[in-house]
Structure 1
């Protein structure tokens, strides 16, 4: 019922008047410009970093127990069955660095950088922020992980490629699907709620210019990964899944609606139950 209502609301946006849509886009752009604080690129980059690093540090000291151990390195597994999270922390690091790099790049372009300059600045900034996070993890039980850092580097690199080359961006979205598990709602730290997450790559038929506005443009193919039951707070049995799916391209629907904020959301977020999938591999 919730999924039907969600799709109904999305389709409803197509019936909004052009003036109303333009007003929504104008208001969201004004809000975005306000959060820039400054239009100066160098000062803006410093402001963004201070804000991000402060939020990461606050979360780290509150939930990840930073500062309780001396700085140390910890070797971690990747996707082995006996890894600590079944590999979901690695796809999580990849996705978070990708998302952070894309957001920072957009803000730098709004401050006057070219698309290429902003994409490079965003990826370097995203990588720096996640490196500082890893240094903080080194003072907790998690430890500084070179494997996490490599996953971050892959995310930052892909963020640059996808954003700097618009034709790649037309075909590919990197997304997170997340439905909080009950125990993590009580715990508060949803950033490590891997049993409620899926990380995926979507390949959009709408990337083909001739099909963008056709019914075929509403279709996309997905490849993703998730694990379940690896945290002590989890109640599910341990399992790992690599899956493929086909579904409705919500990012294309949002683009057709003309509402920019919806397009931005569905480029990075995947609502559940809007596709059908099958496991390519699991254990």
Structure 2
């Protein structure tokens, strides 16, 4: 959870800069601006150094006692792994725009964005491995790699983004049952309460198959995954408290905001950031407890 908060912070930071520096086309050749590239490397190196130093002081202050591994793959029905996947994908997506601003081609920019972002997150995972209360998680590390890989792979395969991971959240009543773990108020619950989070894969059908010319190119179809009734990270502990956790699967329509172009850098930045959030829409849900459920609006 703590690492997820750090990633969200970086996601917001790079998301804003990425939107401002967004390029209008996916060029396949480099037109490197040496001055911009130097500024970018220096700036990101400073952010990296200051952040790691701050984390070491605030969260890794305990004396290291060797290196340990921690298997948390069974926690939260793996929804936290989707969180790692999602945040690292969008860190790569946003940082790609910064490298595009420096003149790299779309493919090279995405590759370097993925490598630099993964280097930062790997440092955090390694630091976790030195702490007795954390430990190095192979599950987290795998998700950290797969997220950027999806973005980079699409740029090299299709020279565009066709599938975008997205996120949505709605508050739940479960948080008050374990506020320490799920959040004491709204400012914490949107990050901590996994019961209210849904992770989506939003696909632009028009980019995959030949559709009618009038079919809206901004219309996506999204599949989602969520969980419910988990007041503890471990399903068995939740059951001991009288709550039987279950998985949720969703199908809904979505928007591809990258098709909206404006002359305003502020508006472009806002659209760039919002394109990582699943819009509220009519949604079909399936879960093993209630079967199929139709939601007129789900977020």
**TM-score, scaled relative to structure 1:** 0.68
Q: Cα distance, 1:148 vs. partner?
A: 1.0
CA distance in 2, matches of 1:236, 1:47: 50
What per-residue deviation string (whole Å, max 9, x for no partner) do you get for residues 195-231 of structure 1?
Answer: 3321111112342686597355454222222234254
Q: Measured at CA, do residues 162 and 282 of structure 1 come closer, stay the same or move farther in structure 2, by a change above 3 Å?
A: farther
Q: Measured at CA, do residues 208 and 86 of structure 1 come closer, stay the same or move farther in structure 2, by a change above 3 Å?
A: closer
Partner in structure 1 of residue 154 of structure 2: 162
CA distance in 2, matches of 1:180, 1:68: 34
Aligned partner of residue 45 in structure 1, secondary structure: helix
Q: Cα distance, 1:115 vs. partner?
A: 1.2
Count of residues in correspondence between the two structures: 241
CA distance in 2, matches of 1:282, 1:167: 41
Partner in structure 1 of residue 281 of structure 2: 274
**TM-score, scaled relative to structure 2:** 0.65
Partner in structure 1 of residue 69 of structure 2: 74
For structure 1, which runs of at least 5 residues remain unmatched after alignment?
A: 1-27
CA contact (8 A) 1:66 1:140 kept: no
Partner in structure 2 of residue 251 of structure 1: 256
CA distance in 1, matches of 2:17, 2:146: 30
Partner in structure 1 of residue 37 of structure 2: 41
CA contact (8 A) 1:175 1:270 kept: yes
Q: Cα distance, 1:189 vs. partner?
A: 7.9
Q: Cα distance, 1:176 vs. partner?
A: 1.6
CA distance in 1, matches of 2:252, 2:123: 37
CA distance in 1, matches of 2:242, 2:160: 37
Question: Is 1:144 aligned to 2:136, yes or no?
Answer: yes
CA distance in 1, matches of 2:61, 2:220: 44
Q: Cα distance, 1:152 vs. partner?
A: 0.8
Question: Is 1:32 aligned to 2:20, yes or no?
Answer: yes
CA distance in 2, matches of 1:250, 1:262: 14
CA distance in 2, matches of 1:205, 1:93: 26
CA contact (8 A) 1:175 1:200 kept: yes
Partner in structure 2 of residue 202 of structure 1: 202
CA contact (8 A) 2:220 2:255 kept: no
CA contact (8 A) 1:219 1:246 kept: no
What per-residue deviation string (whole Å, max 9, x for no partner) do you get for residues 78-128 of structure 1?
Answer: 3xxxx2222122111111111111111110111111111111100101111
What per-residue deviation string (whole Å, max 9, x for no partner) do you get for residues 17-71 of structure 1?
Answer: xxxxxxxxxxx999935xxxx9432441342243256447646865xx4333635
Which one of 112, 115, 134 corresponds to residue 125 of structure 2? 134
Aligned partner of residue 135 in structure 2, secondary structure: coil
Which one of 93, 106, 123 corresponds to residue 97 of structure 2? 106
CA contact (8 A) 1:242 1:280 kept: yes
CA contact (8 A) 1:195 1:227 kept: yes
Partner in structure 1 of residue 13 of structure 2: none
Which one of 262, 268, 271 corresponds to residue 260 of structure 1? 268
CA distance in 1, matches of 2:56, 2:85: 18
CA RMSD of aligned residues (A): 3.7
Aligned partner of residue 201 in structure 2, secondary structure: strand
CA distance in 2, matches of 1:192, 1:56: 23
Q: Cα distance, 1:174 vs. partner?
A: 1.2
Return the structure number with greater helix share: 1
